[in-house]
Structure 1
Amino acid sequence: MKIIDFRFRPNTPDVMAIGESKMFKALCDSIGFSNTKTQALEEIVEELNENGVDKSVILGRDAETTYQWKGSNDGVANMVHQFPDKFIGFAGLDPHKGMAAIRELNRSVQELGLKGASIDPYLAKIYVNDAKYYPIYAKCCELDIPIVITTGPASLVPDAVIDHVAPRYIDFVARDFPELTIIVSHGAYPWVNEMITVAQRNNNVYFDMSEYEFFPMSEFYVQGANTIISDKLLFASAHPFINFKDAIKSYEKLPFTAEVREKVMYKNAARILKLT
């Protein structure tokens, strides 16, 4: 079975520097992130091929205003250009930069060849339906690209408020921008049932449950996929926080039906990325 990993960052030295960042150092220290070995990009791609991963989506991240972390969209593009058949890049954006963020998104798509946008509202310290995000959403519609919204508990991230990314606010965005394809990363955990409902009621909302597949109540993500949202759930490893090989093995244990498993691991993402 072919696999598309919708949340993947190669464990190259520059990417692994996030373990020392203001936002994630406490979290990374708690999980022993520094013990994760770095690899050359060529070696990472070889391992992806060996494990059946057809494509991986590399997400940029820009939280410069709040956490002094300015990810490099040029760096994402460089990895994509080295292995265009393996990687698909999304541009990281900081909503506090106003029109500079819009220009960066346009440059990333038109000049760098990136295929989507990526935002982190709990790192921006504003709600996902804050007015500062709306020009970004509008530009995504204009460029006809999807956007990944990172959610989750933001464990040990200083000053982060998880309510900023609750699904009920994503529901407003989905309503206001019906042309915008939204992928909610980390399943908006712990709002499991609310995430399932928002995905079910909005044609343009999808999600992955990376890192929280085996947390309390996560079985309802699988139940939802097997019943009412089979076209909405995507596989994502969250590599290198979770090794992608371990994530693939974990999904083999989840009780998806055969048809749904194929959708989760490949078909749903392929449709979003316009690969089919």
Structure 2
Amino acid sequence: MNMFTKAITKKPCKALIDGISTAQFVEAGEKPEYELSARQHDKYVEILESLGLEVLDLEADERYPDSCFTEDPAVVMERCAVITNPAKDSRNGEKEEILPAIRKFYSDDQIFHIEAPGTMEGGDVMRVGDHFYVGQSDRTNAEGARQFNEIVTKFGYTSSTVPVTEGLHLKDFAIYLENNNMLVTETVNKLEAFKDFNRFVVSPDELYAINSLYINGTVLVPEGYPKTLKIIEDLGYPVKLVDTSEFKKIDGSLTCLSLRF
């Protein structure tokens, strides 16, 4: 069971309104409100700190509208860190901007890079113990997954790939809550890769709540999804509700907003 002591977050920028949106969880054309997103971000950081994490909260970067989603340009673990190679041009530069923060915690011989033609975003990487499930999606290709596996196996980790056949990232449609429990969609529930987990299918009208976040025994759950909340509470997890309404408008959710290690 993974215990976290540190996190890297990044304040939302005013250019957030131009963030990438597939409108998978909101009406097309909805735009986030900057001031509210800043308050929601600060509350998120406060919750992480209350759960025992030391948070490095980076300043906003107006060049990259989606850069508050620090989970995507890197994947971090105890023994190494992988700088990803985001597929979208508007996000690709984030990999360079996250590097100084990563170097505060990892030596150069622990930092690796996904190189073109490989692409990867951290939202497609779900950790279970020392194994990583890597979603092959529009953002993470087979070559990116191959390079990732080559890196992490040197440090005693393993990885395997699963298809992302709906939406953006793997962790929008499957999330591991420790204790062998997983929240999934009906489609992901049928994947052979996850057959040995206790799978709990989230109602189609609450799919956004699949991306809940396990932190040191507590589960952060987005506000407004009572059926999913009940599933998690019935499993015995303490819960903290978090308002992420503005980040949802540009495909962002709870895990996206931090790198945890």
Which bin holds the TM-score, normalised by the shorter protein?
0.3 to 0.5
- Kindly indicate whether structure 1 or structure 2 has the higher relative contact order, using CA contacts under 8 Å at least 6 residues apart: 2
* TM-score using structure 1 length: 0.40
Whichever structure has more helix as a proportion of its residues is 1
Whichever structure has more strand as a proportion of its residues is 2
